[in-house]
Amino acid sequence: MRILGIESSCDETGAAIVEDGRIIRANVVASQASIHERYGGVVPEVASRHQLSAIIPVLETALEQAGTRWDDLDAIAVTYGPGLAGSLLVGLTAAKALALARGLPLLGVNHLEAHIYANWLRTEADNAAARPADESSEDWPGDPRFPLLALVISGAHSELVYIPQHGRYELLGQTRDDAAGEAFDKVSRLLGLGYPGGPAIERAAREAGDGKNPYRLPRAWIRDTYDFSFSGLKTAVLQLIEGAQADANGGGERGASRYARKGAEVAEGGSLSVPHIAAAFQEAVVDVLATKTLRAARELGVRQVLLAGGVAANLALRERLTAALAPHDIALRCPPVAFCTDNAAMIAATGYFHLRLGERSGFDLDVRPNLQLPFVVTR
Ligand code: KG4
Ligand code: ZN
């Protein structure tokens, strides 16, 4: 079964063709990151305008890449939320028009669920051995195995989710303020590292090397819960910078900041070391995410943990979690880096599993900017 996936929830325009919910035949992403970079974040009105100009060329390129004709498609899956209303509208309207014109089933997909289903995708390298002997089989060798725990960490969400079977989600914990990706983006802006913040901070942190880091930033543990909080961390970085600036301007009480003096020891000219702050920030985020995920995985007795969402691209997090879970015989599964951030292949994959359950959407489907995962109590 071949599904065309369309994704336009934020500043990426994606179209992809995925076979049987797993095998990627084409995946095209047009990113606006360079346009929004100068503003330090996504400007919604600008994003929707660019969605509009990108959507047709991206769709055409995906069909061409896959060598697929319209007649070869079995359904169209499209993100209908969460995301920016204006951006979502572009993809959803295109999907409706195409489904209507071609007489194809339409499937509205929850973007967060799609980040989770990115873990079912396979790259070309592992396609060959992919298919099960029994073509009708629900599970393929190499698929994630239920029950699962997923850590969903994107630009707007940070959630620990228990998944006993396809389509059932129980919320264990979530952020009480900033999302993990949002924290990366805000701290990156504070450090002058640009947008998107995640990759920029990861790169800067690598420059700090493995030596001792003079900075240690606070962790919000919110004990006995699986909740997260990242806004205090952002404030700690801000105070560090303000302290250094006050120092540079001739001191004052603020300039006597303990952090700023430590920073002065590291960097030449008395300024702070951006790579070391980036590393300390990343370490604090990774520490909390990994510790809570390990605890939840052990409590629930899952054998596999899924990483999902843009922050799942972070290699320091992947390494730390893999190492933390391994002694307990729990495996970490992550999508290939390119499929962690927004893409349409994950939308097509999710559409496939819904179609198999006999679902399809009506043409009255509307965008849902604040859509959540459909949480239920499963235990
Ligand atoms: O899932 P995504 O592409 O879009 C949303 O659905 O929000 O996630 C984007 C977020 C941004 O906040 C970005 O800074 C973060 O994911 N991100 C990363 C990395 N790559 C992207 N965060 C940490 N490390 C990365 N390598
Ligand atoms: Zn996303």
Give residue ranges with CB within 6 A of ligand 1: 10, 115, 154-156, 181-182, 184-185, 196-199, 202, 309-311, 313-314, 341-342
CATH number attached to the domain at 2-121+336-378: 3.30.420.40
Looking at residue 322, its pLDDT comes to 98
Looking at residue 63, its pLDDT comes to 98
Mutate to test the pocket of ligand 1, among 311, 314, 317, 342 (most ligand atoms within 8 A of CB): 311
Evaluate whether 2-121+336-378 and 174-333 have a shared fold: yes
Asked if 336 contacts 266 with a C-beta cutoff of 8 angstroms, the reply is: no
Cα(341) to ligand 2 centroid in Å equals 6
pLDDT tens, residue by residue, 167-185: 999 999 999 999 999 999 9
pLDDT tens, residue by residue, 289-332: 999 999 999 999 999 999 999 999 999 999 999 999 999 999 99
Mutate to test the pocket of ligand 1, among 7, 112, 154, 191 (most ligand atoms within 8 A of CB): 154
Determine whether 288 is exposed, middle or buried from the number of CB atoms within 10 Å of its CB (0-12, 13-18, 19+): buried
Give the strand order in the sheet containing 12-19: 23-31, 12-19, 2-7, 75-81, 106-110
pLDDT tens, residue by residue, 192-205: 999 999 999 999 99
Contacting residues for 64 by C-beta, under 8 A, at least 6 apart: 26
Cα(154) to ligand 1 centroid in Å equals 5
Looking at residue 337, its pLDDT comes to 94
Looking at residue 41, its pLDDT comes to 86
Q: Cα separation of 33 and 230, whole Å?
A: 23
Q: Cα separation of 14 and 29, whole Å?
A: 4
Q: Where are the domains of the chain?
A: 2-121+336-378, 174-333
Contacting residues for 211 by C-beta, under 8 A, at least 6 apart: none
Q: Cα separation of 211 and 263, whole Å?
A: 15
Question: What CATH homologous superfamily does 174-333 map to?
Answer: ATPase, nucleotide binding domain (3.30.420.40)
Q: Which residue, 326, 284, 277, 274, is CA-closest to 305?
A: 326
Q: Cα separation of 333 and 359, whole Å?
A: 27
Mutate to test the pocket of ligand 1, among 12, 193, 341 (most ligand atoms within 8 A of CB): 341
Looking at residue 127, its pLDDT comes to 67
Q: Which residue, 74, 63, 76, is CA-closest to 26?
A: 63
- Residues in the chain with pLDDT < 50? 253-269
